Structure 1
Amino acid sequence: MRWRSTIILVILALLLGLFVYFTELRPGPSNTTESITVLQDVHVDDVTEFRLQRDQQALEAYYSTDEGWVLRYPVHSPADSDRIRQALGFLVYAHASRVLPPREITSLADYGLATPALQWRLQLRTGRQILILVGDQTPQKMYYYLKKGDDESIYIVATNLVEVWNQLLDVPPFPPTPTPAATAASVQQ
């Protein structure tokens, strides 16, 4: 083979390699978006009491160091602390798939936040209160619009979070019924 043919083939191979690298192999911009925690500075253990409300239905509870979580409304009763901690965990560790900045928001009513479908009012150990408003579902029905306190942004959160919170209102977190223990009389029969 001649030198000239060899140089042409090397240049073609180099160009082909560059083409494959730039079109197929080179990593492009990442399609993943960074997840944003809605309540970045709050932990479940920081919450000392809360009120969850949907229309005329409400649930209030407070934390007692002696009794754990106690329902205040609709009835005064011990509560299922595990269910409450789970629902609060879904709230304080909620991740937004997207955040709408204030410049994109013309009216809270457009997102169902002028008359929210669901409201959380949290009282923290520090004395700080946080209001969380849950508005309408997104057009795709996979997410809800959420607004926290004085923050002018609107967060878009997964539907399953709101389902857990609605379940807390639909089936109040009364403590589970204990399983009866076997007694000597029942064992003999």
Structure 2
Amino acid sequence: MSFKTTGILALLLVLLAGYIYIYEIKGYEEQAKAQEEARKVATVTKGTVGRLRLDKPGVSISAVRDSFEWRIQTPIETLGDYEMFEELLVSAGTLEKAGVAADSSQVSLPDFSLADYGLASPAIRISFEDAEGGPQEVAIGDRSPTGVYFYVKIAGDDLIYLAESRYYFQFDLTLDELRDKRYVRFDPDRVVGIELLHGEQRIDVKREDLRWLMVHPFDDLGDDVGIGTFLTDLRDARISSFASLDDDDPNGLEDPWFQIVIDEGKDGEKNGVVFGNKTGPRAYRRYQAKAHGNPYIFEADSSFVHHLLESGNSFRTRDVFAFNRHAADQVEFVYSDSTLSFARQGFESWSVESHPNHQIPGKRIEDFLDELNGLRATSYVSEGMDEQGRSVFESQGIRIRVLEKGALLREVVVGALDKHLFAATNDREQIVQIDPYFLGKIRDVRIHPKLGAEQG
């Protein structure tokens, strides 16, 4: 076979392959896609629906998309739950026709009635405007006699279709389910101030650069972990239920017992939420609440509200024991009847200065220094003791001193009372409570006689 003949055959094979792809494979793919689209009740392109209306007997809910928000316009003006609206659109776009309940021959009969299918006054009617496909409307009627399906009618299509009943409740939504259920809308990363007001008590923290500072009731460092957790909890808080729009009962919101004020640095504009009277059954009561700038009252879980209130105790720094851990070259443990002192000799190598005939694995001292440096107060017990009280506390406790070339880096006095462990530091007047596990860390610092050493 000549080279020319081989080239012609190769060209024919390429043309044949192209023909098969264009007219067979690609044609099949397009046909399958068309069949899939034909099975759908509605055509919804994600992110393109700009307006939606959900009609149910006695209520009509209309909403518009505003960038990444849904805003309910009727029956009230308020923010919508973005995820709920998006899920509703996804449900509408994925709902498939499971069959035909009434074809063209049936709907053309003189005695045909939409009421027989619950579609004369449908239980649910969804209308939406898709920028790419124009307006669409889907009516949902009764369930079929077997309960396996429900009836669906599409605007502009005379046929009545069947859809699987398991999808029904994805469309049977109430106004409260579609409303934004956040306590308060804010971005934790933009918050520069938090104020908690509870009666005469006030806790106030401010962010300066990347650090939080407590400015009331004490001037102190703020606790990044505690404040960050509070902001996350508040951002993620969800409303239990909404109060009736025509409820005129006293709600206590004119003089709230607890307020949270959030400052996002918007030219003095403040955000937040206030909590008033309790409502509901005595066995499980909720607080009536309202966000700043929002006229609508909602009900908040009482246990969560108290959690938010108690979170103020975690706004103050808990890192009261930190020091330049890697500079430490001497550690002392002063007990009521003895003293242990250690000196660094090298990497993870420490000598027992107080008991020369004894030794200790150097890693134990290193581990203890890590524990002390990372120790966090669990709560503040006292803002200060008088001289006599502090003297008693310190005389009965264990004094731990960490030094660098003779200069004090950190001094901590640890004492137990009623199964609780407390501590005081050399640079703070406050007594703090610490986790009882730390007493075990102190006990882990044990010395052992050197092998063959003479004991005195």
TM-score, length basis structure 2: 0.33
Deviations along 1:85-131, one digit per CA (max 9) or x if unpaired, are: 21122223321122235x32314xx2232321201122212222124
Q: 1:153 aligns with which of 286, 296, 301?
A: 296
Amino acid aligned to 1:56: E
1:46–1:161 Cα change, 3 Å = farther
1:21 equivalent in alignment to 2:148: yes
Deviations along 1:30-79, one digit per CA (max 9) or x if unpaired, are: 68835612323x1111211121110111101110115x110010011101
1:39 equivalent in alignment to 2:184: yes
Q: 2:229 aligns with which of 50, 75, 86?
A: 86
Q: Match for residue 280 of structure 2?
A: 139
- Aligned equivalents of 1:37, 1:155: Cα separation in 2: 10
Q: Match for residue 8 of structure 1?
A: none
Secondary structure of 1:136 counterpart: strand
1:20–1:148 Cα change, 3 Å = closer
**Greater strand share, structure number:** 2
Q: Match for residue 13 of structure 1?
A: none
Secondary structure of 1:145 counterpart: strand
Q: Match for residue 9 of structure 1?
A: none
- Aligned equivalents of 1:94, 1:138: Cα separation in 2: 19
Do 2:253 and 2:276's aligned partners in 1 also have CA atoms closer than 8 Å? yes
Do 1:69 and 1:79's aligned partners in 2 also have CA atoms closer than 8 Å? yes
Amino acid aligned to 2:316: F
Q: What percent identity do the matched residue pairs reach?
A: 13
Cα displacement (A) at 1:29: 3.5
Q: Match for residue 212 of structure 2?
A: 69
- Aligned equivalents of 1:167, 1:131: Cα separation in 2: 17
Amino acid aligned to 1:54: H
Do 1:91 and 1:161's aligned partners in 2 also have CA atoms closer than 8 Å? no
Deviations along 1:2-34, one digit per CA (max 9) or x if unpaired, are: xxxxxxxxxxxxxxx9435369x8335368835
Q: 1:118 aligns with which of 258, 264, 279?
A: 258
Secondary structure of 2:280 counterpart: coil
Cα displacement (A) at 1:152: 1.4
Q: 1:97 aligns with which of 240, 246, 268?
A: 240
- Aligned equivalents of 1:74, 1:154: Cα separation in 2: 31
Do 1:61 and 1:73's aligned partners in 2 also have CA atoms closer than 8 Å? yes
1:167 equivalent in alignment to 2:310: yes
Q: Match for residue 321 of structure 2?
A: 178
Q: Match for residue 188 of structure 1?
A: 351
- Aligned equivalents of 2:251, 2:238: Cα separation in 1: 18
Secondary structure of 2:230 counterpart: helix
1:155–1:173 Cα change, 3 Å = same
- Aligned equivalents of 2:191, 2:303: Cα separation in 1: 22
Do 1:39 and 1:93's aligned partners in 2 also have CA atoms closer than 8 Å? no
Do 1:54 and 1:118's aligned partners in 2 also have CA atoms closer than 8 Å? yes
Superposed structure 1 runs of 4+ greater than 6 Å apart: none
- Structure 2 stretches of 5 or more lacking a match? 1-143, 151-163, 332-349, 353-456
1:154–1:20 Cα change, 3 Å = closer
Report the structure number with the largest CA radius of gyration: 2
- Aligned equivalents of 2:299, 2:316: Cα separation in 1: 30
Highest relative contact order (Cα 8 Å, sep 6+), 1 or 2? 1
What is the aligned length? 166
Cα displacement (A) at 1:179: 6.0
- Aligned equivalents of 1:174, 1:73: Cα separation in 2: 10
TM-score, length basis structure 1: 0.71
1:130 equivalent in alignment to 2:271: yes
- Aligned equivalents of 2:248, 2:193: Cα separation in 1: 33
